[in-house]
Structure 1
């Protein structure tokens, strides 16, 4: 098959062997695959990316060589491996969480040689995680179920009440997906923050209630107008008086060094801080401020099969208009150039790869 594979830290399009489904696996033809920020990180800083994966029990393969990336996929069933139920007919369009397992071991699809990703013409996926795409949903939209399921998980882990104020910092694909997931669950107000006018406009289309350009004003300057008490003593005084207080949740979707420290400084007392953007470098915060403000910092990574399934229903039923974030498409031959263009936030949000084109 033709695939964009990593060679010496670069993407090279070449012919590679077709993957062969083993026991419990399905062979599929890739119809669409999104470019994820993790793919950009993996090639941009492979040592840090591989180090994080190894320290957290992930796939320990060197991302610079022999990897077919791509884990946000929609595909059609071509064949089944041995020992499969074969519940879905050949030709069915499917998607699923990027979790690979079988006789060859386990790993994240698109980050291990055992499970080549959607930047190739064919993939193998576990039959148990193969989900039929509802009729009428385009493959490029179905492929977005994976990044939007990441947002579904982050919102679930935040354990919010409907009246909590949500601030989403960074409106890349994941930040935009968090905005959409919050609104699909009926949360509001949702404050969307990004330097890019184009990305703020996309957030507005997904339902964001307040848009902030941090070059013009601080994302932490509207707490009072949103009914949030910022100081620890003021909040305690309100609680002692029996007053209803409004909680806040900050979704950090940027993932750059120093960002968490700025969030800790700007967060109101008793806030939850959801780490959704992945920072690959060590960072530091002031633990005294975290303790004094009684801040709750939670990580969130990926999405479970049940969260993936719920997200697919939300997209198919129109509760989430995932296609809004698609700003470009490319074939395999244009993939390397598109990776470079994705570094310009005003040009693209989400780009979809079609290995057939």
Structure 2
């Protein structure tokens, strides 16, 4: 990618530095942040610079995207231990631990992301993949780690009733994590019929089309307590007796946060996992009067990545339905176009060896 233009080209195989391995990419997922990188690159750069003081990439330099992957070791670089032999399939926390850390998927041809045939990884971060786990399922560890982090941020209790607004890949992954942890009943909302069907398949108990049914009213029906011990926090202004509410905003477009503040029950926890790349606004007075807890969630820790991978490996997380298409590298530009239509795909997996 260069300045919002996506092309497939040829580049030299990268050379591993100290403590690094060269790997062959077996499978890679297309992430929503890859779409943002392509269509809102300047906004992403400005946000990262202002928030963290980092330059993710240069708009004028080529970027090889892709940070959700399964790969195979083909060469050990200098000063490596060689603990995992050549031919070992691996997952990995997507960072190169150099003096200046490289965020995989935002580097150039020298440090490419997973939309390449070969890439570099830090040996110390590698996780071996068991034989029974397919390459494409391994590539889901990263988005599941994002969802796991969002659920962890919400600190749900056993009586919380979660509501997921937006059933794109992250919303669907949040549903899968909630279901695995036995939290619920889970209410999910999306305009897309295909994504509503996936939400149901991945564990949502009630799925609604917001054009026809208010997800907040559906939530209230399920949040009626059967035991006084289940009643969540109340205020004098809002004494409604309901189970606690945890709302996951997984849409990321302007106006959604205000919609949640307006319609959600008082004292709700709102976890914003949708990455909105445009200016947005909401009424703080609404959140203050209803004593909302508003929190934002970004990425995950190395420990959460390993935990998500462990749940996949053990079979606790069954998320195969997330994958809706499989393509080769030369099909990438068309796949990015397809992902703009929520009824066509949820998660597209790229197989660089596919011709």
- TM-score for both structures, normalised by structure 2: 0.93
Residue 328 (structure 2) aligned to one of 326, 331, 341:
331
Do structure 1's residue 221 and structure 2's residue 222 form an aligned pair? no
Residue 313 (structure 2) aligned to one of 312, 316, 320:
316
Q: Would the aligned equivalents of 1:171 and 1:199 in 2 still touch at CA under 8 Å?
A: yes
Secondary structure in 2 aligned to 1:13? coil
CA distance, structure 1, for counterparts of residue 314 and residue 182 of structure 2: 15
Secondary structure in 2 aligned to 1:346? coil
Do structure 1's residue 18 and structure 2's residue 13 form an aligned pair? yes
Q: Equivalent residue for 1:132?
A: 128
State the Cα deviation string for residues 254-296 of structure 1 (Å, max 9, x = none): 0001111111111211111001010011211111111111111
Q: Would the aligned equivalents of 2:3 and 2:59 in 1 still touch at CA under 8 Å?
A: no
Cα 1:184–1:63 change in 2 (3 A) is: farther
Q: Equivalent residue for 2:35?
A: 40
Q: Which runs of 5+ in 2 are unaligned?
A: 225-231
Q: Would the aligned equivalents of 1:46 and 1:64 in 2 still touch at CA under 8 Å?
A: no
CA distance, structure 2, for counterparts of residue 274 and residue 187 of structure 1: 16
- TM-score for both structures, normalised by structure 1: 0.92
State the Cα deviation string for residues 119-174 of structure 1 (Å, max 9, x = none): 00111111121111122111011011000010011111110012201001111111
Q: Would the aligned equivalents of 1:97 and 1:303 in 2 still touch at CA under 8 Å?
A: no
Do structure 1's residue 162 and structure 2's residue 147 form an aligned pair? no
Residue 172 (structure 2) aligned to one of 146, 170, 176:
176
Q: Equivalent residue for 2:102?
A: 107
Q: Which runs of 5+ in 1 are unaligned?
A: 1-5, 239-244
What number of residue pairs does the alignment pair up?
Answer: 345
Aligned-pair CA distance for 1:237 = 7.5
- Supply the RMSD in Å over aligned alpha carbons: 1.7
Do structure 1's residue 264 and structure 2's residue 261 form an aligned pair? yes
Q: Would you tell me which structure has more strand in proportion to its own residues?
A: 1
Residue 236 (structure 2) aligned to one of 233, 238, 243:
233
